[in-house]
Amino acid sequence: MSTLQLSSSPDGRVWTLVFDHGKANEMGSAQLAELEALTQALRDDPQVAALITVSRRCTSKGQPIFVAGANVTERVGWSDAQVKAHVRWQREVLRGLANAPVFHVVVVNGLALGWGTEYLLTADYRIAAEAASFALPETGLGILPGAGGTSALWQLVGPGHALRLGATGERISAGEAARIGLVEEVVPDVDAGLARAAVLAGLVAGRSPTAVAAFKAGVRAAMGEAVAAEADAYDWCVDAGEAAVGRAHFQQIVAGAAVPWGPKRLR
């Protein structure tokens, strides 16, 4: 992989994916293509049983980063049709990874913003270091969480907390994430998280890969998804012009300045 780092245990049963790219592990077209290829490899390889995702990335000031969101800057100059097609691709890539026939453990250390929080929906088990924090800032950009944050997040945390996170953009701590069900465990640091993930992955690796894949498929099927509704809602934000406002005023939004949003438009 060219921007995402992938390694394997000696027996090929456990793969580890490390985010360490760009300024802040932002996810763009290159990373989506690599995740798409990874998902296919997980399906094709008869040995792999578990996947661990982690990041040790830190900012120049030492702040740990998991994923600081989608690569919004690459969308500058895109048409509305290009934006909608790209987000549909994001949605399909994450859905594909979520349904990959392996047990996926995500270890979050640092900021998991927007796409970073939505990436948790691809996991079968989520571990947060104490330094982790989570937020969905998309509605402050004139869009909505379009890669599962609208259609699937509520199944983890309930409709109330999903609406709270998506509508307010409030950033929550690792402890709060565990309290509402966004993560299953909180550990002191990233090394403790990786150690715990390795234990879980090792247990899975000793079991029937066919049975584990079938069990996961059954659970995922029972959960169901509301992807079409999420896609329609995201497209409405774009068609109403709010996504374009968000892109045009991105720096002001980051700085906390007022943005000239249009009036509320209902479908």
Task: Assign residue 100 the CATH number of its domain.
Answer: 3.90.226.10
Gap between the Cα atoms of 267 and 240, Å rounded: 9
Nearest to 204 by CA among 19, 47, 4, 43: 47
| pLDDT, the chain, mean | 93
Please report the pLDDT score of residue 90 as a whole number.
93
The answer as to whether 212 is a domain residue is: yes
d(CA 99, CA 177) in angstroms, rounded, equals: 23
Give residue-wise pLDDT tens across range 243-267: 888 888 888 888 888 989 888 788 7
Position 239 in a domain: no
Say how far apart CA 141 and CA 261 lie, in whole Å: 10
Mean pLDDT of 83-103: 94
Question: Which residue is catalytic, options 26, 34, 118, 225?
Answer: 118
**For the whole model, what pTM was predicted?**
0.92
What's the pLDDT score for residue 155?
93
Where in the sequence is the domain holding 206, given as residue range(s)?
4-223
Residue pair 123/104 in contact by the 8 Å Cβ criterion: yes
Do the domain assignments include residue 53?
yes
Q: What is the dihedral of CA 145, 189, 39, 20, to 10 degrees?
A: 80
93 compared with 266, residue with greater pLDDT: 93
Domain presence at residue 261: no
Residue 171 included in any domain: yes
Are 167 and 145 contacting, i.e. CB atoms less than 8 angstroms apart?
no
pLDDT tens column, 137-182: 999 989 999 888 898 999 999 999 999 999 999 999 999 999 999 9
Q: Which of 26, 36, 130, 138 is catalytic?
A: 138
Residues 146 and 93: their CA atoms lie apart, in Å, by 12
Question: Quick check: 240 and 62 in contact, CB under 8 A?
Answer: no
**How many domains does the chain fold into?**
1
Confidence (pLDDT) at 1:
60
Annotation marks residue 26 as catalytic: no
Establish whether 118 is a catalytic residue: yes
Q: Is 75 within a domain?
A: yes
